[in-house]
Amino acid sequence: MFFGAVQLGIMAACVVLFVPMAMAGWHLSRNKVLFFSGALFVSLAVCIHLIPYFPSVFPSSPTVLLQQDPTPCISLINEVNFHSNFDGFSWDFENKSRSFDCDFQKLSRIDVSDLLNGSWIVVAGDSQARLFVVSLLDLVLSLDEMESIQADLFKRHSNYHIVVEEIGMKLDFIWAPYATNLTHVITDFKRNNTYPDVLVMGSGLWHMLHFTNYSDYGVSLRFLRESLIPFLPVGSDSTRGFHLFWLGMPTLINRMLNTEEKRVKMTSEMCNLYDQELYKSKILRKDGGVFLLLDVENLSKKCGVDCSSDGMHYNGVVYEACVHVMLNALLIESHQKL
Ligand SMILES: *[C@@H]1O[C@H](CO)[C@@H](O)[C@H](O)[C@H]1NC(C)=O
Ligand SMILES: *[C@@H]1O[C@H](CO)[C@@H](O)[C@H](O)[C@H]1NC(C)=O
Ligand SMILES: *[C@@H]1O[C@H](CO)[C@@H](O)[C@H](O)[C@H]1NC(C)=O
Ligand SMILES: *[C@@H]1O[C@H](CO)[C@@H](O)[C@H](O)[C@H]1NC(C)=O
Ligand SMILES: *[C@@H]1O[C@H](CO)[C@@H](O)[C@H](O)[C@H]1NC(C)=O
Ligand SMILES: *[C@@H]1O[C@H](CO)[C@@H](O)[C@H](O)[C@H]1NC(C)=O
């Protein structure tokens, strides 16, 4: 009985996935066929879940599937656990997501190559964003390749550009420590009328340290939001093929911060005030904006004090988890946009 349901689910998933995808095309990756195998686990879970309720009408289940609200999964996507062991830290998606049939996964190198094949990714922000780029490249490049790019990648306060030929993936890191810098990045896209497939942005730490004025931070975020109004999901598919993520600020461990100035200005009260401005600015998806939050604050807090050397930058494992959160969100979203 269960086996039957699984087979039915697989068949339904094939119908549901392959037919509309082949017709609609998929904007992130050009390698559609291979991508399907990655997308399958999301739809399979949904299908197996639904089939028992629609035993005789599974050809019509595409409608049902398309009406599935993916929000429950998206809202659980930052739920990650960290474990420390003798040689460092590891992480995992929380079991809770499984009981909601979300089935988030750590994607393998091959899955990631399929998913990102042919896409253009832009990451703009401060050193947190740079660490995010390192973790992302770690997933698609070999150790040797990683070593050969380290020096360029870590040039202080500079941009970085790489094309990963094997998968035709283009990645830009744009040094943009303030929200006003991020607004300029958006303005440049508009001027060129070219947009990346995936855009990851984040800012706040520099403003907190050098201006320590949360309301001014709020103002700069609202300008950023305004620059993004053309991309707000008002129409049916106005953000199609343009996926935006907000790389949140990490949890700061005040006593570990490496300068007196930082310890004085970057208090937990100030962090809270900056957080409030982020929510008030409504740039996050859950507040009606365009960015899906990559919740670095929560992730880094869970990884804990031992996971950071300077109270601000965390071990690679935190950014690695963030990258997988983003990739799983991309899988869900591409699926949703059929
Ligand atoms: C990427 O896509 C191209 C063309 O669609 C294909 O030839 C190539 O094999 C793909 N590479 C990977 C690693 O999937
Ligand atoms: C989560 O699941 C794994 C295996 O599926 C299990 O080993 C682990 O104990 C579970 N963790 C919690 C907190 O339930
Ligand atoms: C970012 O913005 C600040 C303040 O608005 C400005 O001084 C700085 O030159 C900008 N940096 C870059 C890289 O655009
Ligand atoms: C816009 O186009 C110019 C010229 O082709 C290029 O140098 C620049 O990097 C582009 N900017 C963006 C944000 O795409
Ligand atoms: C903080 O920023 C706001 C808005 O930009 C400005 O009106 C205010 O004067 C600033 N406060 C200080 C103490 O600089
Ligand atoms: C952080 O994670 C905890 C536990 O998973 C959750 O209850 C809380 O809502 C999260 N915080 C935010 C701001 O999402």
Cα–ligand 3 centroid distance for 121 (angstroms): 22
Looking at the structure of the chain, the number of domains it has is 2
Ligand nearest to the CA of 169: 1
Contact by Cβ (8 Å): 81, 91: yes
Whether the CB of 298 sits within 6 Å of ligand 6:
yes
CB 301 within 8 A of CB 83: no
DSSP state, 282?
Answer: T
**Whether residue 110 is found in the same domain as residue 28:** no
Residues 47 and 78 in one domain: no
Question: Is 105 domain-assigned?
Answer: yes
Could you give the CA distance from residue 10 to residue 44 in angstroms, rounded to a whole number? 6
> For residues 283 and 293, is the Cβ–Cβ distance under 8 A?
no
Q: Is the pLDDT of residue 56 over 50?
A: no
Q: For the segment 114-151, what is each residue's pLDDT rounded down to a tens digit?
A: 999 999 999 999 999 999 999 999 999 999 999 999 88
Ligand 1 site, CB within 6 A: 30-31, 34, 113-114, 117-118, 166-168
CA atoms within 13 A of residue 142's CA, in its CB half-sphere: 4
Which of 295, 298, 303 to mutate to test ligand 6, by most ligand atoms within 8 A of the CB atom? Answer: 298
Residue 41's domain comprises: 2-53
pTM: 0.80
| Whole-number Å distance between alpha carbons of 290 and 332 | 16
Residues 41 and 168 in one domain: no
Backbone angles phi, psi at 263, to 5 degrees: -65, -35
197 Cβ closer than 6 Å to some ligand 6 atom: no
Say if 47 falls within a structural domain: yes
Q: Both tokens of residue 18?
A: 């392959």
Predicted confidence (pLDDT) per residue in 29-54, tens digit: 444 433 444 444 444 444 344 443 33
Q: Is the CB of 180 under 6 A from ligand 3?
A: yes
Q: pLDDT tens digits, residue range 203-228?
A: 999 999 999 999 999 999 999 999 99
Task: Supply the CATH number for residue 89's domain.
Answer: 3.40.50.1110
Tell me, yes or no, whether 155 and 276 share the same domain.
Answer: yes
- Together in a domain, 193 and 236: yes
280 vs 297: CA distance, rounded Å: 17
**Residue 61 falls within a domain, yes or no?**
no
Kind and range of the H or E run holding 330: helix 316-336
